[in-house]
Chains A and B, each alone.
Chain A
Amino acid sequence: GENVEQHPSTLSVQEGDSAVIKCTYSDSASNYFPWYKQELGKRPQLIIDIRSNVGEKKDQRIAVTLNKTAKHFSLHITETQPEDSAVYFCAAPPKFNAGGTSYGKLTFGQGTILTVHP
């Protein structure tokens, strides 16, 4: 996406290991940071999101951390399982006032193909 860079593009881990995917954004006014998971041939679905008023959010084995000063946020998956294998996308929608240029625009990071080997 034009306002968010995502790394790495591919990530291969052994089952049980942790996986970390990082996104860097450019608009300091962005205040909402979602992560989506897309399984092969399926639609992307939201797995976790964070707002700019908190630094970390956890949901079982997944967590997202946000560093507003450095303008980056990361997805952390612990105790990875084969079913975690998928493509993961981040987004950092710019915050615009209604009626402003690009209001409502939503672009995504380039995606990370995560493969968890049994």
Chain B
Amino acid sequence: SQTIHQWPATLVQPVGSPLSLECTVEGTSNPNLYWYRQAAGRGLQLLFYSVGIGQISSEVPQNLSASRPQDRQFILSSKKLLLSDSGFYLCAWRGTELTEAFFGQGTRLTVV
């Protein structure tokens, strides 16, 4: 069966520090991968998505970047965090049929 791993679950980082959040999927090939951010009590903002290795689509201009070094690995990064980067970050994957999305447990990032 397919599983998605996202870590860490919580993270407190100072302003100006770098960020690296990792997401891996098991049990499937060629997944479509997604990074979302959710502010408290708000909706799911699509940040990046990837339909294949090295293919990254960016949805929102910001100081974040994403990479997909392997088929089932999706990494969200920042060189210098801002206070406004605080939020709940969710990784998700969908199969090639593009139906149900499966989400990771999420990372609650607090920038202080």
Contacts and interface: CB of A to CB of B under 8 A. Distances in A.
Interface of A: 1, 32, 34, 36, 42-46, 49, 89, 91, 93, 102-111, 113
A105 B103 contact: no
Interface stretch (B15-23, B67-75, B94-102): B94-102
A91 B103 CA distance: 14
Contacts of A43: 90, 103-106
A89 B43 contact: yes
A103 B51 contact: yes
Contacts of A111: 42-44
Interface residues of B, number: 23
Contacts, number: 59
B99 A104 contact: no
Contact of A89 (B32, B41, B44, B104): B44
A4 to B, nearest CB: 11
B97 to A, nearest CB: 9
Given A43-B90, A44-B90, A103-B51, A108 B43 contact: yes
A106 B106 CA distance: 17
Nearest to A110: B43
Contact of A93 (B41, B44, B50, B98): B98
Contact of B103 (A1, A45, A107, A110): A45
